[in-house]
Amino acid sequence: MNELDVATAPLDRRTFMGYFAGAGLGSTLFPGVLWAKVAAGAEITVQTVTAAEELAGLEFNKEQREIIVDDLKQQRNHIQALHKVRLPNEVPPALVFDPVPPGAKLPERRRGQRTVRSRVALREMPASVEELAFEPVTVLSELVRRRRVTPTQLTRMYLERLRRYDPLLKAAVTITEERALRHAAAADAEIARGRYRGPLHGIPWGAKDLLAVRGYRTTWGAAPFREQVIDRDATVVQRLDNAGAVLVAKLSLGELAWGDEWFGGMTRNPWKPEQGSSGSSAGPGSATAAGLVGFSIGSETLGSISSPSTRNGVTGLRPTFGRVPRTGAMALSWSMDKLGPMCRSVEDCALVLDAIHGSDGQDTTVRDLPFTWDARVTPRQLRIGMFEDAFGRDEKQYANKKRDMAALDVLRAQGATLIPLKVPEAPYDAMRMILNVEGAAAFEELTRTGRDRELTRQGKNTWPTVFRAARFVPAVDYINANRLRTLAMQRWFDLFRDIDVIVAPTSSTQLVATNFTGHPAVILPNGFREDGTPVSITFLGKLFGEAELLAVAHAYQSATDWHRRTPKLQLPAKTG
């Protein structure tokens, strides 16, 4: 029986089972073919139900099947009616995820609270502006404020570095030169008149290309959307414009926010260009590490800030779910997507978060809660936990153990008393279906039209396959996965009742767990491998507890110099 015969033959269970067994595909695909025929208008019969039971893990009797047939015919009519309505990616479901358990006490704004930054020694202006390429925002902002360098000088320098090094790194989808020079000139004029907006004024930055920018492509890293133009600025872009920051590039992401491969190639790690920069915030990680931007904005659903921050040796902040508005950003998972800064220091992340957090009246998940950065807070003043079991693993299964142990020693030397804790138990891996189902819904049109074939990555462990498989997750199980998530959220909230910050290995259960519970994290470099590539450690905070979280991470970083090291970029020699 050939493929055409399979598509047109009568729905006979044994015939199909025999075909798939003979093809080596197994019987589990059989119900999927049946439901594909049903969606195409084939008759729904008792045999259809019998086959579908296998995938659902259920078994009904003949009478029950006959009754179900009528309900399924009605359900098909409803589904066909849904398919007639085009749902743009920006339309969220009516259900709103909230990571905060009932009765939880959240931070309150206190009188007299104000931002307190670290003292920054003003460096002398170098002979070449390019020598500032790797300086953090804290240093660049003081040079701009004191008029030692202009926003236009910084902008032209970063634009030139983007043009020079991006052919090697493939970190930029679009260089926004015209917009950048216009905004830089406006910043020059404002500062010359004595109007200084704050620490981001005149600082060039890059946006992960899932953020809409008026007049420029927003490709989502995927070939089906490579010419897409969204006629608006994302809220985060608007807020950084208002802070005076200068957007110089839209940076790459793995297609539809997975990995470091996109339709333009693979984004590279500046420390080891033959290696990918990881993802999905591949461009923000690579460009920030390579000194192509002053800072960047990435996003995380299930590790997309954490992984490229680790690979590229930058400092990433994944804020609490509901801290930063996602309006104008591509939706992958409405209950998990988070936007956050990727920078060269923890304090840079704090300064950027200060500019982008808070409700915009459009993203209904966002809460208006205070964030006040105080660089004076020390580990001695806070209650800090550590995941004893995760740090106690055997070194053979835990390659970064020595460096992580050294990081704990730094914290202890700063007066921290590390309280041993255990990761709350829950079936975190089983909850991954939440992301798969929401992603399949967000990009349903790709699957139903067959345009998923245009995506760069195909086969096992790729979006086309995940989206197709997610069509067969029962709605009941999706809801129950979220109910299990509620239990996990409560357990993590209870864990933080007497703890301000938790330190953990980056590669451990916490990464998946806290992306489901919505807790914030800071990922920062804590050493290098023998091959010269960076590694990281992770700090976790309470819900909306970024101020304390960043303070502990900043204290650790101030006592080390891993974040100050820079890659030595070498362009390939020209031939011919």
Catalytic residue among 141, 252, 277, 280: 280
- Which is nearest to 320 in space by CA: 287, 289, 353? 353
27, burial (CB in 10 Å: exposed 0-12, middle 13-18, buried 19+): middle
Is 574 a catalytic site residue? no
Catalytic residue among 37, 208, 338, 542: 208
Alpha carbon distance, N-terminus to C-terminus of the chain: 55
Coil/strand/helix, residue 504? strand
CB atoms within 10 A of CB 549: 28
Which pLDDT score, from 0 to 100, does residue 423 have? 97
Is 280 a catalytic site residue? yes
Coil/strand/helix, residue 242? helix
Catalytic residue among 277, 278, 281, 304: 304
Please give the backbone phi and psi of residue 329, each rounded to the nearest 5 degrees, phi first: -105, 150
Q: How far apart are CA 303 and CA 326, in angstroms?
A: 17
- Return the CATH number of 129-427+479-564, one of 3.90.1300.10, 3.40.930.10, 3.40.50.300, 3.30.1360.120: 3.90.1300.10
Q: What is the DSSP letter of 379?
A: G
Q: How far apart are CA 179 and CA 227, in angstroms?
A: 19
Q: How far apart are CA 282 and CA 259, in angstroms?
A: 7
Q: How far apart are CA 21 and CA 427, in angstroms?
A: 32
The alpha carbon of 138 is separated from its chain's Cα centroid by a whole number of angstroms, namely 24
Q: How far apart are CA 98 and CA 363, in angstroms?
A: 12
pLDDT of the chain along its 576 residues, tens only? 333 333 333 334 343 333 333 333 333 334 444 555 555 567 888 988 888 888 778 898 999 998 888 888 888 888 888 888 999 999 999 899 999 999 888 888 777 788 999 998 888 899 999 999 999 999 999 999 999 999 999 999 999 999 999 999 999 999 999 999 999 999 999 999 999 999 999 999 999 999 999 999 999 999 999 999 999 999 999 999 999 999 999 999 999 999 999 999 999 999 999 999 999 999 999 999 999 999 999 999 999 999 999 999 999 999 999 999 999 999 999 999 999 999 999 999 999 999 999 999 999 999 999 999 999 999 999 999 999 999 999 998 899 999 999 999 999 999 999 999 999 999 999 999 999 999 999 999 999 999 999 999 999 999 999 999 998 899 999 999 999 999 999 999 999 999 999 999 999 999 999 999 999 999 999 999 999 999 999 999 999 999 999 999 999 999 999 999 999 998 877 655
CA angle, residues 519, 89, 41, in degrees to nearest 5: 120
What tokens does 263 get?
């339709």
- Which is nearest to 346 in space by CA: 385, 377, 325? 377
List all residues 6 or more positions away from 185 whose beta carbon is below 8 Å from its beta carbon. Answer: 151, 152
Q: What is the DSSP letter of 122?
A: -
Cα-based distances in Å from 414 to 110, 136, 531, 542, 558: 27, 23, 30, 21, 11
Say which amino acid occupies 437.
Answer: V
Q: How far apart are CA 399 and CA 413, in angstroms?
A: 24
249 in Cβ contact with 285 (< 8 Å) = no
List all residues 6 or more positions away from 377 whose beta carbon is below 8 Å from its beta carbon. Answer: 547, 548, 551, 552, 555
164 in Cβ contact with 571 (< 8 Å) = yes
- Which is nearest to 375 in space by CA: 107, 110, 119, 198? 119
Which pLDDT score, from 0 to 100, does residue 38 have? 57
378 in Cβ contact with 414 (< 8 Å) = yes
205 in Cβ contact with 295 (< 8 Å) = yes
For tokens 């025999």, what's the residue? 18
List all residues 6 or more positions away from 536 whose beta carbon is below 8 Å from its beta carbon. Answer: 306, 309, 310, 313, 506, 523, 524, 525, 526
Please give the backbone phi and psi of residue 405, each rounded to the nearest 5 degrees, phi first: -60, -40
Q: What is the DSSP letter of 575?
A: -
List all residues 6 or more positions away from 193 whose beta carbon is below 8 Å from its beta carbon. Answer: none
- How, if at all, do strands 172-175 and 246-251 pair? antiparallel
Q: What is the DSSP letter of 431?
A: G
Is 27 a catalytic site residue? no
The alpha carbon of 347 is separated from its chain's Cα centroid by a whole number of angstroms, namely 20
Model's pTM, two decimal places?
0.91
518 in Cβ contact with 295 (< 8 Å) = no
Residue ranges of the domains in the chain? 129-427+479-564
